[in-house]
Amino acid sequence: MLYWRKAVLSERKQSEEIGRKTDGRKSGGRKEKGRKADETCMARKKSVNEERPWVAVTLGDPAGVGPEIIVGAWNETVIHDWCRPVVVGHPEILRRAVALWQTDVRVVEVQSPHQLEPSPELIPCIACCSDEVLGVRPGMVDARAGHAAYQAVVRAAQLALAGQVDAVATAPLHKEALHRAGHKHPGHTELLAELCGVSDFAMMLYLGPADDLPARDGLAVVHVTLHTAMRNIFGQISEEAILAKARLADGFMTRLAGRRPRIGVCALNPHAGEGGLFGDEEARVIRPAVLRAQAEGMDIEGPLPTDSLMHRARSGYFDAVVAMYHDQGHIALKLLGMHRAVNITLGLPIIRTSVAHGTAFDIAWQRQADITSLVEALRIASKLALSRFGCQRPQASKSD
């Protein structure tokens, strides 16, 4: 059984158990107050489940694997238990992906998310790019594809900011194609931050709990620096930057898990600087930031050598990790669960999740791409949207 199917069965079972406990409570005093609170929470959950969150799914770069993983994920009926997904992109590109999968699902162009009810048999698609993109060849860097991907992200963000959708889940775009189209953003994260008008943001990779990841609430990795050359990293790391990312990680995991997380902070240099022999950034920059975070009430340790830190995080000792640069966090987390990892942008006024992989031009439009990360991105987007109603859906078990 696929892990997300196990997750849904676990959630349903826990919901039923909560319902039985609520029904069995007696009235009177504190018990009566507790019963009413539980009934309110259950009613809210029932309302949210009946009105599943609307999630805008961007098509990504049409030359990459985005369209096909969307159609592949659509066939997993479990995503329709979680949310109401609507695709943002060119409907004809999506129809080509349906033909690739040889399914009977219909793609219907709509003007707004709520115009048509999505289902395993029907994909509503909000058109937002010109027919020029239909000439894009699979697996090729093309400015037309970059612009189409850009337009999909912009439209989805507008829908979320206007409250027409509850979350955004993005398929991968190609950064070179984006730049060829004249859009100089390093990637999704920076583009969305600009669209939302925020300067304090971060990319987080999240891996949910599973048999091979004992961490009760999964593991999150947030990055102090992101899409920049290695030679720029030392100049971009500061106490304020580290503290800002630690705050974002603390807030996100508190929201997701319902408790304050334990956070580990990576060192920058080998062996955490070895007492200054291999660099002084640990003592001069990172440690002071950690002390400030502790003074704010965070349960945080560091700086720690990344190899030992990630081993402890995998075992469940840490709930979140603050990495100093892109590959320090990405490589470690993806080795733990490449296809299950989800990209989440922190600090935005909207919910945004994404696959944790790229456009995969080498296998694009061959039906070889793994859909797992997109399915998980939809699950996490739905879960975060549900939490806005004040009571989260029961946690999935470690078997998810």
Instruction: Look up residue 398 and give its amino acid.
Output: K
Query: How distant is the alpha carbon of residue 223 from its chain centre?
Result: 14
Taking only the tens place, the pLDDT of each residue in 236-255 is 999 999 999 999 999 989 98
Q: How far apart are CA 395 and CA 15, in angstroms?
A: 10
Instruction: Output the pLDDT for position 5.
Output: 52
Cα-trace Rg, the chain: 22
Is the pLDDT at 113 greater than 50, yes or no?
yes
> Does 239 share its domain with 382?
no
Instruction: Look up residue 207 and give its amino acid.
Output: L
> Does 361 share its domain with 329?
no
> Taking the CB of residue 19, how many other CB atoms lie within 10 A of it?
14
> Does 256 share its domain with 279?
yes
> Does 101 share its domain with 116?
yes
Domain end point (choices 302, 317, 347): 347
Domain end point (choices 304, 326, 347): 347
Taking only the tens place, the pLDDT of each residue in 202-239 is 888 898 877 677 777 889 999 999 888 999 999 999 99
> Does 81 share its domain with 136?
yes
- Give the chain's domain count: 2
Instruction: Output the pLDDT for position 300.
Output: 97
In the chain, which residue ranges form alpha helices assigned H by DSSP? Answer: 3-23, 29-50, 66-74, 78-82, 91-101, 143-161, 175-180, 188-196, 233-236, 239-257, 281, 287-295, 306-314, 326-337, 372-387
Taking only the tens place, the pLDDT of each residue in 280-327 is 999 999 999 999 999 999 999 999 999 999 999 988 899 999 999 999
% helix / strand / coil in the chain, to the nearest 5? 50, 15, 35
**Own/partner pairs, 93-97, CB within 8 angstroms, 24+ separation:** 93/59, 93/62, 93/67, 93/133, 93/134, 94/59, 94/67, 94/70, 94/123, 94/125, 96/67, 97/67, 97/68, 97/70, 97/71
Tell me the three state secondary structure of residue 345: strand
Placement of tokens 């349906």 in the chain: 98
Mean pLDDT across 46-67: 84
**Which residues contact residue 9 at a Cβ distance below 8 angstroms, ignoring those fewer than 6 apart?**
none
> Does 265 share its domain with 389?
no
Taking only the tens place, the pLDDT of each residue in 31-48 is 444 444 444 444 444 444
Contact between 85 and 55 (Cβ < 8 Å): yes
Task: Tell which residue, 197, 292, 183, has the closest CA to residue 247.
Answer: 292
> Does 152 share its domain with 296?
no
**CATH number, domain at 272?**
3.40.718.10
Q: How far apart are CA 213 and CA 244, in angstroms?
A: 27
Q: Quick one: 86 exposed, middle or buried, by C-beta within 10 A (0-12, 13-18, 19+)?
A: buried
> Does 184 share its domain with 207?
no
Least confident of 90-94, 95-99, 299-303, 389-393: 389-393
**Which range has highest mean pLDDT (28-32, 42-46, 362-366)?**
362-366
> Does 101 share its domain with 213?
no
Model pTM above 0.85? no
Per-residue burial over 232-250, b if 16 or more Cβ lie within 10 Å, else e, is ebeeebebebbbbbbbbbb
> Does 169 share its domain with 255?
no
Task: Tell which residue, 228, 224, 236, has the closest CA to residue 306.
Answer: 224
Q: How confident is the model at residue 388 (pLDDT cuts 50, 70, 90)?
A: low
Q: How far apart are CA 273 and CA 277, in angstroms?
A: 6
Taking only the tens place, the pLDDT of each residue in 119-134 is 999 999 999 989 999 9
> Does 82 share its domain with 35?
yes
Q: Quick one: 332 exposed, middle or buried, by C-beta within 10 A (0-12, 13-18, 19+)?
A: buried
Instruction: Output the pLDDT for position 398.
Output: 34
Q: How confident is the model at residue 372 (pLDDT cuts 50, 70, 90)?
A: very high
Q: What values do phi and psi take at 128, rounded to 5?
A: -145, 15
> Taking the CB of residue 276, how many other CB atoms lie within 10 A of it?
12
Q: Determine the structural domain holding residue 105 and report its residue range.
A: 1-198+348-400
- Partnered with residue 266 across adjacent β-strands are 304
> Does 327 share its domain with 379?
no
Instruction: Look up residue 116 and give its amino acid.
Output: L
Q: Quick one: 42 exposed, middle or buried, by C-beta within 10 A (0-12, 13-18, 19+)?
A: middle
